Amino acid sequence: MSIQTLLLCVAVAIVAGGMQCQPALCPADKPVINPLTGLCEPAGGDDTIVPGGRTFSPGPGTGGLRTEPDTDTSMGEDADPDAVDLLIFGLNGRWLEQDNGRTSCIVHFASEMTSTLIEQRVCEHLDGTNTISHTFADLEGVVNGDTITGRTIVCRYGNSDPALNGTDFSPMMLTISPDGKTLSGTYIVDTEVLEFSLQRQTVGHCQGGDELLQERIDAGMVRVRIPESFSTELGHGGGGR
């Protein structure tokens, strides 16, 4: 008997003294059993577990992580059940950014990768002009082995010259962890080297930026994000992701 079957069954005593296994029914609104947790989930995926939309139960080669809609896991291999099969899935999926708490969507094809934010970022210039910049852009780079080199978006603020404030790209470098679940490295703002990292949340093709925004507008799900606040003296600017 498979693990899935065991999770779906309850033991019931019969007259002969043996045990009979019968399916444990899930409620109509959550008819699908998660093979790893044994919990019932909606047939169309669950949108409450990972920020950014629906996800589905883990599959082969996902390292125990949930999958994006329409993700085919039939080619994945569980050589290491705790690691993502990078040869099959690459870096594709949703990631939680540890330095700022944002969720991003990474699209990885061949040697190129792009990260787009799930929610629009607000950058307040804090230069007396009441200017605010908005962007879904996050980072982009070239993948070579376990290293990503490229650039990431930073918010510059508080400079006495307004032209120096707003969103801008800064150089960055990231290292891919052996299990395919963590990206960690540094980026540069002016001459300062700062650390940052991303923790993988899902596996598969996800939606971010304008693509997801339009879907949320259609569903009436758009909400306003409060602008980031910084403490700085005008004239001596700062910046960060």
User: Is residue 31 domain-shared with residue 138, that is, in the same domain?
Assistant: no
Whether 55 maps to a domain, the answer reads: no
Whether 100 maps to a domain, the answer reads: yes
Whether 61 maps to a domain, the answer reads: no
Give the pLDDT confidence score for residue 78 in this predicted structure: 78
User: Is residue 24 domain-shared with residue 106, that is, in the same domain?
Assistant: no
User: Is residue 37 domain-shared with residue 94, that is, in the same domain?
Assistant: no
- CATH code at position 151: 2.40.128
Whether 69 maps to a domain, the answer reads: no
Whether 48 maps to a domain, the answer reads: no
Whether 221 maps to a domain, the answer reads: yes
The count of domains in the chain is 2
User: Is the pLDDT score of 144 beyond 80?
Assistant: yes
Say which amino acid occupies 219: A
User: Is residue 13 domain-shared with residue 112, that is, in the same domain?
Assistant: no
Give the pLDDT confidence score for residue 213 in this predicted structure: 47
User: Is residue 143 domain-shared with residue 27, that is, in the same domain?
Assistant: no
Long-range contacts: 219-226, Cβ < 8 Å, 24+? 225/119, 225/120, 225/121, 225/122, 226/122
Q: Tens digits of per-residue pLDDT, 183-232?
A: 999 999 888 999 999 999 999 999 875 555 445 444 443 333 323 333 34
User: Is residue 33 domain-shared with residue 103, that is, in the same domain?
Assistant: no
Query: Can you give the residue range of the structural domain that contains 196?
Result: 88-240
**CA-wise closest residue to 38 among 68, 8, 1, 78:** 8
Whether 219 maps to a domain, the answer reads: yes
Whether 146 maps to a domain, the answer reads: yes
- Cβ-Cβ contacts under 8 Å for 21 (sequence gap 6 or more): 1, 5, 6, 9, 10, 11, 12
Give the integer Cα–Cα distance in Å for 23 and 145: 46
Q: What is the pTM of this model?
A: 0.73
Give the integer Cα–Cα distance in Å for 139 and 195: 14
User: Is residue 93 domain-shared with residue 32, that is, in the same domain?
Assistant: no
